[in-house]
Amino acid sequence: MKIGTKVIHAGIEPDPSTGAIMTPIYQTSTYVQAEPGKHKGYEYARTQNPTRNALEKNLAALENGTNAICFGSGLAAMDAILKLLNPGDEIISTNDLYGGSYRLMTKIYARYGIKSHFVSMNDPSSLKKHINENTKLIWIETPTNPMLNIVDITKVCKIAKQHNVLTCVDNTFASPYLQTPLDMGADLVLHSATKYLGGHSDVVLGAVVVKSDELAEKLHFIQNASGAIPGPQDCFLILRGIKTLHIRVERACKNAKQVAKFLQTHPKTKNVYYPGFKTHPNHKIAKKQMRDFGGMVSFDLQDDSFKMAKKVLSNTKYFSLAESLGGVESLIGHPASMTHASIPKAERLKVGLTDSLIRLSVGIEDIDDLLEDLEQALTNI
């Protein structure tokens, strides 16, 4: 089955009791048993819920995995993955990543004796020097946030395998429409389904997808023991969002390409970060491992200051100033004062995250309106 069919059909059956074509929201906490232990596979809703199961089957199919496990948020899903580790274990992670992921590793898991190292994965072969006998997990985010670097998933996974280290790819920015990391050797895929999978900025949910029953069993155990499950209504909303994933992401990529080109030639902008440019340092890898270049574009200004960036942010009318990404509506953000405010300025500047850096999540509105909006926002600063 191809992805455009999977999004609609994979794991979805008409409701057996009524024939309802849409997966029902099983809003129940428990299930009646005929006699103790005699039931239809459902005992208690922390452990199993049919709406959640349908979403999990769908996500497993989208990522070419065998099992998916859904959680109350992307970070709850990541938390379950980190609980696979033991005190003394170490993580190697991309150094340009989602702030919440960084916080979970450094502020929570570090206290339980799990150390994280943040490195550039632009050259995967340099990873070897960071791996030691305690390394148990390599954490990859690609495209990275907000600089939109691309990590060669196949190469990193190959090195990890040689050292018996698990790899997890945070596939939130790309979505399974653009890349399927399990096919490139990853052991785990993480999603903040809040973003492209849901796609309508109306729900927070997370998921892990794996291709090994052993890992799935461990994660199910952790989920049931720790309890960070999503509610059935939220699962329904993600299922509904996924049905249009392919056309939404396709359109967002198309719009982003035009936005990137427009920004590149605008006199008020300086650097434009977009993996679809031939001049982007990782363009070849992006072309190899992704179907298209994504809906995210970052740029900074000739007049590099917070003040100028803030003017642009308040000038746009279709690009709403907000955190998050991947919805049908375009969003604009300022990493230095929003998502990456806790990172010291010197550290930020090393990766190109300047005071005026602006991140766009390009939505699926009409491109003419989006370009006109950016034009007036930049001209009037």
Ligand X SMILES: *Cc1c(COP(=O)(O)O)cnc(C)c1O
Site for ligand X in 139-178 (CB under 6 A): 141, 145, 170, 172-173
Report the residue number, 81 or 377, with the smaller CB distance to ligand X. Answer: 81
Question: Three-state DSSP class for 239?
Answer: helix
Q: 151 with 174: CB under 8 angstroms?
A: no
**Crossing angle for the helix pair 232-242 and 50-62, nearest 10 degrees?**
30
**Interface with ligand X, residue 195, by CB under 6 A:** yes
**Interface with ligand X, residue 192, by CB under 6 A:** yes
Report the residue number, 245 or 378, with the smaller CB distance to ligand X. Answer: 245
**Interface with ligand X, residue 197, by CB under 6 A:** no
Torsion sign (Cα): 247, 249, 252, 256:
negative
**Interface with ligand X, residue 102, by CB under 6 A:** no
Dihedral pair phi/psi, residue 57, rounded to 5°: -65, -40
**Interface with ligand X, residue 269, by CB under 6 A:** no
- Identify the residue among 53, 167, 175, 194 touching ligand X (CB under 6 A): 194
Q: Report the side by side order of strands in the sheet with 188-192.
A: 67-71, 206-210, 188-192, 166-170, 135-141, 90-94, 115-119
**Interface with ligand X, residue 198, by CB under 6 A:** no
The interface mask with ligand X, positions 200-239, x = CB under 6 A, is ----x-x---------------------------------
Report the residue number, 149 or 269, with the smaller CB distance to ligand X. Answer: 149
Site for ligand X in 59-78 (CB under 6 A): 73-75
CA distance 37 to 360: 52
Q: 286 with 293: CB under 8 angstroms?
A: yes
Active site residues: 46, 98, 170, 195
Q: Within 13 A of 88's CA, how many CA atoms are on the CB side?
A: 3
Interface ranges with ligand X (CB under 6 A): 73-75, 98, 100-101, 141, 145, 170, 172-173, 192, 194-195, 204, 206
